[in-house]
Amino acid sequence: MKKNIVITVERLYGSGGRTVGEMLAEDQGIHYYDKELVKLCAEESGISEDLFVDADESLKKAKLFRLGKGKYKGELLKPGHSDYVSPENLFNYQAKVLKNLAETKSCVVIGRCGNFVLRDYENVVSVFVHAPMPYLLEQAALKQSRRGMELREYVEKTNKNRAEYYEYYTGHKWERAQDYDLCLDSSRLGFDMCVEQIKSYLKIRFGDDVLPLSGE
């Protein structure tokens, strides 16, 4: 029986990292987790899905990132605790779900500080997808009605929020290359080649017979 492999993908907004993750999952016949992860977290904790979504937004609005007190340590608070539905405890449940996935199935996980939470797992490959600003703007314009400076400000703000979220919970810089197995420039490679590069790395690290990850 093949060992399950998890690929975590962090990405700059506009780089197409989510698309790369989706393409890889489809190519390998494995599951892809992004927003669906919230449902799993709700089932695990008994906490409403809406609270998991609201937690991320409340952090952005309150700028709690800058307090630097949210670093993930793994502790889970019990129901009835005054901070049971705090953003930090919700993140801890999210981390627990990620670990459950890493122990049970091959999949692709988008964002969620997956590379940090699963950093001690030998079966996890972490990827950061990036690109220069002109490319980010070009790709963002395909999904946004914004243009010009308004679009640039939106891209910069989105990536700033992602970086602050990551640093708040991990204590590390989001774009630090040392924290990833692969850093891919999608503007140079294109989405298809990004997928191929990840597959090539998987073969080098785990052996030629690791693919397909679905085990078929």
Only one residue has tokens 């996935």, namely: 101
User: Is 138 among the domain residues?
Assistant: yes
**Considering the entire predicted model, what is its pTM?**
0.90
CB 65 within 8 A of CB 168: yes
Whole-angstrom distance, CA of residue 206 vs CA of residue 16: 26
User: Is 213 among the domain residues?
Assistant: no
pLDDT tens across 11-48, in order?
999 999 999 999 999 999 999 999 888 888 888 888 88
Whole-angstrom distance, CA of residue 143 vs CA of residue 151: 11
Helices (H), 29-132: 36-45, 49-62, 87-104, 114-117
Element (H, E) at 184: strand 182-185
Query: pLDDT tens track of the chain, all 216 residues?
Result: 568 999 999 999 999 999 999 999 999 999 999 988 888 888 888 888 887 777 665 555 555 545 555 677 777 877 877 778 788 888 888 999 999 999 999 999 999 999 999 999 999 999 999 999 999 999 999 999 999 999 999 999 999 989 988 998 999 999 999 999 999 999 999 999 999 999 999 999 999 999 999 976
Signed CA dihedral, 62, 67, 71, 77: sign only:
negative
User: Is 205 among the domain residues?
Assistant: no
User: Is 26 among the domain residues?
Assistant: yes
State how many domains the chain has: 1
